Amino acid sequence: MKKLISILIFTSIIFSTNASAADCFQTLSSDYSQDSGAFKVADYELNGEFEVTPESYSVEALDKLFSNIGCVASVREKAAVKISCKEIMPGNPASSVCYLENELGYFFISKDMLDTVNIVFNRWD
DSSP assignment of the chain: -HHHHHHHHHHHHHHHHHHHHHHHHHHHTTTTT-SEEEEEEEGGG-SS-TTT-HHHHHHHHHHHHHHHTT--HHHHTTS-SEEEEEESSTT-GGGEEEEEEETTEEEEEEE-SSSEEEEEEEE--
pLDDT at 116: 96
Q: In the chain, where are the structural domains located?
A: 2-123
Quote the mean pLDDT of the chain: 81
Q: What percent of the chain has pLDDT over 70?
A: 76
Higher pLDDT, 90 or 7: 90
* pLDDT tier for residue 8 given thresholds of 50, 70 and 90: very low
When pLDDT is averaged across residues 85-113 and rounded to a whole number, the result is 93
Q: How far apart are the first and last CA of the chain?
A: 43
* pLDDT tier for residue 12 given thresholds of 50, 70 and 90: very low
Statement: residue 105 has pLDDT above 50:
yes
